[in-house]
Chain A
Amino acid sequence: MGPDLTWYLAVAAFLFGIGALGVMLRRSPLIVLLSLEIMLNGANLALITFSRHHGQMDGQIFALAVMAVAASEVVVGLGLIVAVHRRRLDLDVDKLSTLRG
């Protein structure tokens, strides 16, 4: 038997925190998307850990669904970034504030 499941949850929490830090800190939308992936993967690790804890595989199914949603999100996000780049706008999430209410 390896390490306790609590250790896996600690890794998941740290991953989520690192991803949240990247989302709040970085200004390039590409890095924001990469940090979002880290957050999603932290959540995935927690899901799979709890799936192992309960001995049921529903958590793994949920993790696979999260993976599919993350892939879709990357497609739409990268499409938006390329569209912004083609308009010759700055790739900086602080400067893209035209939609601000």
Chain B
Amino acid sequence: MGNVVVWAVWFLAAFACLGSGAAVVSFSNPYYSALALIGNLGSLAVLYLLLSAEFVAAAQVLVYAGAVMVMFLFVIAYLGRHVDAPWAGGPSWQALGAVAAAGALMVEIVVVIGLKASGRLSDAPDVGAGFGSPFEVGKLFLTDQLLAFEITSIVLLAAAVGGVVLGSHARERNNFVESTDPGGPTS
């Protein structure tokens, strides 16, 4: 009975994940694409729960589907509606090449995983109840992975500073003045 339920949940989550991923790529309205990506991230969180990664699933919903996607939706609303139909004007060489390259990449990954890990991946070890819990994650972050934790904080700080610099109005006028300057050595 438990087996069937786990399989059913996996089936629903995996196909919701792949379907919403395909929807992100194929919608022409970016607003719909972002909403589909929220569904994608939510169903991925279900898969993480099935893999007993509870804290990562919670962080996925809070950070990704919450904060990051809200920022995306705000920017899309700010930019207005830019319709970009992926298949407009019939299949072009670029589109065909993209499909071929992505398919080749996918086949390559599947073949490599199948060759290197066939049979050995089927059994997952039994893990304790603490596996993936916030307690264990926090303990790892503050002991073994302390350097990664600190570097992450520096990365976030750099991104915040970069966002402020890119979004500020003050630099714009200077750049326009420089661009009208006809070459020559700049001071």
Contacts and interface: CB of A to CB of B under 8 A. Distances in A.
Contacts of B14: 7, 11
B166 A13 contact: no
A25 interface: yes
B98 to A, nearest CB: 4
B84 A5 contact: no
Contacts of A45: 44, 47-48
Contacts of B156: 68, 71-72
Give the interface SS of chain A, mostly helix, strand, loop or mixed. helix
Contacts of B103: 17
A35 B155 CA distance: 22
Contact of B98 (A16, A25, A57, A87): A25
Contacts of B106: 13-14, 16-17, 20
A76 interface: yes
B158 A58 contact: no
- Contact count band on B: 35 or more
Interface of A: 1-11, 13-22, 24-28, 30-31, 33-35, 37-38, 41, 44-45, 48-49, 51-55, 57-58, 60-65, 67-76, 78-83, 85-87, 91-92
22 contacts: A3-B7, A7-B14, A13-B109, A16-B109, A25-B25, A25-B95, A27-B84, A30-B76, A34-B72, A37-B37, A44-B56, A52-B127, A53-B121, A55-B125, A58-B145, A61-B148, A63-B53, A64-B59, A67-B60, A69-B152, A71-B67, A79-B162
Interface of B: 3, 6-7, 9-10, 14, 17-18, 21-22, 24-25, 30, 33-34, 37, 40-41, 44, 47-48, 50-53, 55-56, 59-60, 63-64, 67-68, 71-72, 75-76, 78-79, 82, 84, 86, 94-95, 97-99, 101-103, 105-106, 109-110, 113, 117-118, 121-122, 124-125, 127, 131-132, 136-137, 140-141, 144-145, 148, 152, 155-156, 158-160, 162-163, 165-167, 172
